[in-house]
Amino acid sequence: MPAPGRFLLRLLPGWILRYPRQRLAEDLVAGLIVAFLALPQSLAYALLAGLPPQVGLYVSILPAIAYAWVGSSMVQAVGPVAITAIMTYTVLQPLATPGTPEYAGLAASLALLSGVLLTIGSLLRLGFLSQLLSRPVIQGFISGSAVLILLSQSRHLLGLESGSDSWPGLWAALLAQLAGGLGPAALIGLVALAVLALGRTLLEHALVRCGMAAARAKFIVRLLPLMVIAAASAVVLHFNLEARGIAVVGPLASGLPDFHWFLPDHASLGKLAVPAMLLALVGMVQNIAMAQALAIKRHERVDANSELLGLGAANMVAAVYGGMPVGGGVSRSALNVAAGAQSPLASIVTAATMGVIVYALASFFSHLPLAALAASIMVAAFSMIDLKSWREAWAYDRADGLAWLGTAGGVVFLGLERGIGLGIMLSLTTLLLRASTPHIARLGRIPGSEHFRNTDRHAVETLPEVVFLRIDESLFFGNQSAVEARIASELLETPTLRHVVLVMSAVNRVDTTAMEMLCDINRDLDERQIHLHLAEVKGPVHDRLHHSRLWPALSGQVFLSVNEAFEKLRLAAPRLTVPANKAPSPSWHP
């Protein structure tokens, strides 16, 4: 093959080169289905983000293709998702009025910034940062965000005019609305909400009872949102409700938008830097978690840093084409897998179909009432509130349950950024707090054996002048003072002590702070003529300590095993009971 051909081949993603032809049909069918199923949510999430609904369609096209090209997951689908949409809205709403060109520009800047951050993160291999968030924190964050979504959409659902997002403002408007009687928008919204909320289970039961196969019934139910918004549009058209002031999607730009090259100005960069980082972090966590879960199910592997690159590319494309941050979504990917997608080709087919839909059905969507879209968002948001995950976390581990509550409460009452900050703080504090109280066992020998066990739990032999302490945790700045305190209390309890042996079998690391603590302990024990010994030091720890200032200063020995220490110190003891007295250290007095 000539060189230019090879170069072009390299630009193609690996999955195209290895594509198994027999899967083509499955991918084509899945791609077509997902395009129709994801249509309502694509429109809805753009509305949720405070942008014109058609933007949701636009960013389901080229950004999805960019991810399919660059990402590493076979079945993850990228597009507008609930979490990034509500984050976009809460970040931008204080900065500009939704619907204005300024707002649209800020949304695009946010997508660009988070795309650039994700790409940089991928190049710096920062995928591990996604581990900053524990599952209870993520679940609390999603649940709290869902409450925010419900709050923000109840306005659209009821066709309220003025947009106060605070609790009292909203309730005041709601009461005023109810006092004045419900408008047509509220009627459509509430009916749509009822159909979507109750329809799922009722329809599935009904269909199965009518003799339909369970799988087919499940599929029909998935079409419900599409049917509801189509019906709502038809109602608006038929009764000419637009003339009565009902809010609709409105005329779409004819066909696809142009590319929109821009660089955010300095002022918006400053305002959006922290939100963009948060968006990148949350997008990364959601995307990697979903991709890994799917890959494990399908016996594939994903690479966290390729995922970052894919998500970064998708967001950068979304910035110039559509103008709204995108993510790898739970519901979107679930649709994709359920429709039978086998490779990113399905996502490309979905994107192409969406393009055709934008061309062909633009005029029909222009009559879609916002209230019906809001209803579909609210049903989705309601299913995102995962109280079961809280109950499980609380039952298993109070601290994790608290982190869940702190994150969810923080999101609802303090905002998204502070909420997730609080969650991270709570989980890191728990981690530090637990590691700072390490389990330390005083060991003795089981008579007639070479085994050593906790003196509190077993009948064991001990030596009167020697204490063996096993530390069940790596030594670092967080727990060094606990070790220091434990040794101090052993000294007070056993005044005859002449040897302290630290059993290091469970110590995987010793950081600088802990190494210096060991030096301090060694010096202080030495002043009291007590020897400090180490036993069962692991290879990597040994290598590091060997070059530290602890090694030459150590008053005792380093034993390979606890038993060796026990035997040697038992023999040495008689000679050690009267240690050579050192000269008192010089001190001055006037």
Residues 195-214 close enough to bind a copy of itself by CB under 8 A: 213-214
Told to check if 418 binds a copy of itself by CB under 8 A, we report no
Told to check if 18 binds a copy of itself by CB under 8 A, we report no
CB of 544 or CB of 570, closer to a copy of itself: 544
Binding mask 376-415 for a copy of itself (x = CB under 8 A): ----------------xx-xxx-xx---------------
At 476, the amino acid letter reads F
What residues numbered 446-465 form the site for a copy of itself, per CB under 8 A? none
Residue 465 makes CB contacts below 8 A (sequence gap 6+) with 496, 497, 498, 499, 569, 573, 576, 577
Please give, one letter per residue, the 3-state secondary structure of 309-360: HHHHHHHHHHHHCCCCCCEECHHHHHHHHHCCCCCCHHHHHHHHHHHHHHHH
Q: Which of 90, 134, 333, 336 binds a copy of itself (CB under 8 A)?
A: 134
Told to check if 24 binds a copy of itself by CB under 8 A, we report no
* Shortest CB 483 distance to a copy of itself, Å: 12
Told to check if 543 binds a copy of itself by CB under 8 A, we report no
CA separation for the pair 282, 535 (Å, rounded): 44
Q: Please, are residues 350 and 35 in contact by the beta-carbon 8 Å criterion? A: yes
Look up residue 118 and give its two tokens: 């994700």
CB of 102 or CB of 520, closer to a copy of itself: 520
Binding mask 458-497 for a copy of itself (x = CB under 8 A): --------------xxx-xxxx-x--x---x--xx-----
Question: What is residue 502's three-state secondary structure?
Answer: strand
CB of 387 or CB of 395, closer to a copy of itself: 395
* Shortest CB 186 distance to a copy of itself, Å: 36
CB of 303 or CB of 567, closer to a copy of itself: 303
CB of 125 or CB of 244, closer to a copy of itself: 125
CB of 243 or CB of 492, closer to a copy of itself: 492
Q: Which of 150, 174, 506, 573 binds a copy of itself (CB under 8 A)?
A: 506
> Count of residues binding a copy of itself (CB under 8 A)?
74
Told to check if 431 binds a copy of itself by CB under 8 A, we report yes
454, containing H or E segment:
strand 452-454
CA separation for the pair 367, 347 (Å, rounded): 28
What residues numbered 311-340 form the site for a copy of itself, per CB under 8 A? 338, 340
Phi first, then psi: give them for residue 7, nearest 5 degrees.
-60, -45
CA separation for the pair 397, 430 (Å, rounded): 11
Q: Please, are residues 145 and 45 in contact by the beta-carbon 8 Å criterion? A: no
Told to check if 546 binds a copy of itself by CB under 8 A, we report no
Residue 426 makes CB contacts below 8 A (sequence gap 6+) with 137, 399, 402, 403, 406, 407
What residues numbered 141-200 form the site for a copy of itself, per CB under 8 A? none
Told to check if 219 binds a copy of itself by CB under 8 A, we report yes
At 512, the amino acid letter reads T
